[in-house]
Structure 1
Amino acid sequence: MRAVHGGPPEIGHVMLQELELLLLAGGSDPAGLLPARQQMALSLGWHIILACFGVAFPAMILVAHWRGLYRDDPVALRLAQRWAKASAVLFALGAVSGTVLSFEMGLLWPGLMGPFGDVLGLPFALEGLAFFIEAIFIGIYLYGWGRMPPRLHLLTVVPMTIAGIVGTFCVISVNAWMNAPAGFDIVDGEVVNVDPWAAMFNDLVFMQFLHMWVAAYMVVGFTVAGVYAVGMLKGRRDDHHRLGFTIPFGFASVAAAIQPFIGHLLGGNLGDRQPAKLAAFELATTTESPAPLRLGGILINGKVYGAIDIPYLGSLIAQNSLTEAVPGLDTIPLEDQPPVNITHWAFQIMVGIGTLLFVAVVVHWVARWRGRDLTQRRWFLRFCVASGPLAVIALEAGWIATEVGRQPWVVYGVLRTPDAAGDYPHLWILLAATALLYTGLTIGAALVLRSMARRWREGDEDLPSPYGPTVGDQDTQGDSA
């Protein structure tokens, strides 16, 4: 290894300057660009967490319900019922944020949705259908307890799971299209020869979908397992808490184990597709052969400070070769370069946390194979509590790396981000309203979920109705009639 030393100013100050450049991007940009960027960052950053629960939680409910039904396990059935109620709360929040996003696309980015609405309409329409299907079967599943044949009731979770997968695929296909546009031609400045199926099934869609789908299981699995780890730290080591930890941690373990390989495959040929993004990921100022893996560091005035270089590893990871060059920023025109430091650090945070979680699950299952139960160790349970927030941070960092690394393009090589924004300065009002809405929803959801958990610990499975006739009143009224 070798370290690149220097005398940089405060990293936070430099990153703030770069963020300001990203947001402002010049005085000639439309007035709606800055609020539109911040609005999308807030909306997507908040919604993506809730979307993960809509994608991954139904599969965990399905496993718990199946175990309860076919192994005659009342603890597992109780878990499935409780998880479904919590999932409904989170799904309701996701419905609100998803509705906000559907209106935002046209309002914030008229330069994108105007010309390319026909190209992107199909996946958005299919995602809406998937959303409604999932909502319908969540309602059927919640209502079906004690009212439907057991096996049929179990099967109602299957459409929920499939709808979450389909909806995720449709949304990710739009983002993949932004990175690898397809399904249209531009003739004399007009979008023609539109093929929405080719746009939806573009070259990147399957790998990007797989990367996001697995990430959702990491977020939900580690978060839910962390909830039960808290209870186990407080001495609640009954079957309920052990099973409540084991099922989501099992899902998270599989996801964390395969995610590094999926990410590596997704990054293949990135130097050919988006060389500026790869150069920012690797903090490569010049084209080097072989290229080192650069850990940390910050770019200031064309020089890298504070990085640790591991020889050859950059070429191996980025190009699957010990000698092939990684293109540097010197090959990219300045106006086509993304905010390098933000992209680089977001990418490294994602990879660093993903590697940490990968190592943790390997250690856990190797210890389990050797007859040691790490859930008996408080340090491991504390790590499990932290693993949920860590997975969320990795998810957000991954999206920052993807989206900021694509700048200054909203559709790579076709449409620049300033050209997609509108000239409407009053979008700041929408941003403030959205921030207040999301703050209120977050607080409300936290209070509801805490109240549900408290009642469940006290043995109350169903919330009492604050009004309405009691059973005795109904009988009396029936007799008098």
Structure 2
Amino acid sequence: MIEYDPVIFSRILTGTTLAFHIIFATIGVGIPLMIALAEWIGIKRNDEHYLLLARRWARGFVITVAVGVVTGTAIGLQLSLLWPNFMQVAGHVISLPMFMETFAFFFEAIFLGIYLYTWDRFKKKIYHFYLLIPVAIGASASGFFITTVNSFMNTPRGFDINNGVLTNINPLAAMFNPATPTKVAHVLSSAYLTSAFVLAAIAAIALLRGRNHVYHKKALNLTMTVAAVFAISTALIGDLSGKFLAEYQPEKLAAAEWHFETTGEAPLILGGILTADKEVKYGLEIPYALSILAHGNPTAEVIGLEEFPEEDLPPFIIHYFFDLMVAIGMFLAAVSMVFIVMQRKKNWNEHNRPLLWAIFLGAPLAMLAIEMGWMFAEVGRQPWILVGLMRTAEGATTATHVDTMLYMFVLLYLVLSISVVTVLLKMFKSNPIEQELRDRGIE
């Protein structure tokens, strides 16, 4: 039986909540953009297929928003109960984006309700589209504000500590810390990419089942075009993130690549097994790649783990998180680019079964990459909850019964998972697209 340790159970509970919440948070950020694009194209081209895409995507989106509210509330509760010492510091310094994230959500929710209620109520369809703009802005703003809090945890700024007392507090400096640009850009871009693949997978499986209506083909064309754009942007931002780590968290980058000795012309290692003697076996070594990732120069020196105290090193398992995230990102980019190329070539069938299966597989893989990315970010920051200032154990509660909370919240997430899947399946199976197309007189 596991010996009770409030720090361990607090970390497990918070990690479980974040892993569950990030699914709905990612969809919550990315889907509004996809709905907006579909409705905009439908209006501009006077194309009822795209307008129906927007309508049906919005229906499913509402369900995920409802679950996201529950898990987001759980995170807020757990931060206060499980990490009181951290929140004492955060409450003074980084409370502004926490408040703004709540404001952004209410801004989004209000206009989402109006948007859903006013379908077909405007003579000019563009007026209905305008209601969606605040929804998309609010969703992305919510992601922006909460990511700045995570950025602050990696590069704390905006205050001084004198004799244990916080002074010279600057909330804007805390928000716009050195980690903010790359983290926010990476989170938003990957959310748009993942959401595009999730919607593309729905169209792909319909086509695989022989439902060859042009509606599904238009859905696939739109989603894969968006996916291609954000696959490229995510890769470029990932490169900038590597350079950020090299400057501000070199121990995290070194741990991610099992780079022990400070050296130039550093190779990047994919996969492999790390022995007790800290030797890498069976890994694929790409010459110069780590130096390029860290500094944009194949001969640049990359700081190794030997430069840091052992008690300050992140867990070496983050190597696999990093590799999985990068490998999946490359797969998504390849699939989306192949689709775009085939789409533009005459006599090439971009709806062939192998490519459709690859697109369908891309949805769960994209979500897995999101999970791996957050695990890399959070586990890779250890042993710190505020890098250089507060260790995770110092920020945690000393209360009992955190284990009981863990079991209760896991049960809640299980119920929510079953509920959301059941509701979504029932919603769309009881109203199949082919029937709705006929009901609306759309060919």
Scaled to the shorter chain, the TM-score interval is over 0.9
Name structure 2 gaps, 5 residues minimum.
437-443
TM-score of the two chains, using structure 2 as the length reference: 0.94
Contact 2:107 2:135 in 1 (8 A): yes
1:47 counterpart letter in structure 2: H
Alignment of 1:336 onto 2:312 = yes
Choose which of 183, 204, 222 in structure 2 pairs with 1:229: 204
Alignment of 1:160 onto 2:132 = no
Q: Which has the larger radius of gyration?
A: 1
Deviation per CA, 1:243-282, whole angstroms, max 9, x where unpaired?
2222222211111122111110122142231121011111
Amino-acid identity (%): 37
Contact 1:65 1:80 in 2 (8 A): yes
Deviation per CA, 1:89-132, whole angstroms, max 9, x where unpaired?
11101011111111111111111001331112100100000101
1:317 counterpart letter in structure 2: L
Choose which of 113, 117, 129 in structure 1 pairs with 2:91: 117
- Give the match for residue 176 of structure 2: 201
2:411 counterpart letter in structure 1: L
Deviation per CA, 1:265-324, whole angstroms, max 9, x where unpaired?
122142231121011111112222221111212323222222222222221222211212
TM-score of the two chains, using structure 1 as the length reference: 0.87
Question: Judging changes above 3 Å, is the alpha-carbon distance between structure 1 residues 369 and 240 closer, same or farther for their aligned structure 2 residues?
Answer: closer
1:105 counterpart letter in structure 2: L
Alignment of 1:127 onto 2:104 = no
Distance in 2 (alpha carbons) for counterparts of 1:105 and 1:408:
18
Distance in 2 (alpha carbons) for counterparts of 1:451 and 1:116:
42
Deviation at 1:190, TM superposition (A): 1.6
Choose which of 414, 422, 425 in structure 1 pairs with 2:400: 425
Contact 1:181 1:199 in 2 (8 A): yes
Contact 1:31 1:424 in 2 (8 A): no
Name structure 1 gaps, 5 residues minimum.
1-23, 462-481
| Secondary structure in structure 2 of the residue aligned to 1:322 | coil
Alignment of 1:70 onto 2:61 = no
2:58 counterpart letter in structure 1: A
| Secondary structure in structure 2 of the residue aligned to 1:191 | strand
Q: 1:258-407 counterparts in 2 under 5 A?
A: 258-301=233-276, 302-340=278-316, 342-407=317-382
Deviation per CA, 1:20-58, whole angstroms, max 9, x where unpaired?
xxxx9xx9xx93211111111111111111111211111
2:275 counterpart letter in structure 1: I
Alignment of 1:108 onto 2:85 = no
Q: How many residues align?
A: 434
Distance in 2 (alpha carbons) for counterparts of 1:292 and 1:311:
4
- What CA RMSD, in Å, does the superposition of the two structures yield over aligned residues? 1.8
Distance in 1 (alpha carbons) for counterparts of 2:425 and 2:279:
50
- Give the match for residue 58 of structure 1: 32
Distance in 1 (alpha carbons) for counterparts of 2:244 and 2:426:
49
| Secondary structure in structure 2 of the residue aligned to 1:257 | helix
Contact 1:69 1:77 in 2 (8 A): yes
- Give the match for residue 439 of structure 2: none
- Give the match for residue 384 of structure 2: 409
Choose which of 77, 87, 97 in structure 1 pairs with 2:71: 97
- Give the match for residue 61 of structure 2: 87
Distance in 1 (alpha carbons) for counterparts of 2:106 and 2:348:
42
Deviation at 1:372, TM superposition (A): 4.8
Contact 2:225 2:336 in 1 (8 A): no
Distance in 2 (alpha carbons) for counterparts of 1:210 and 1:272:
18
Distance in 1 (alpha carbons) for counterparts of 2:346 and 2:293:
35
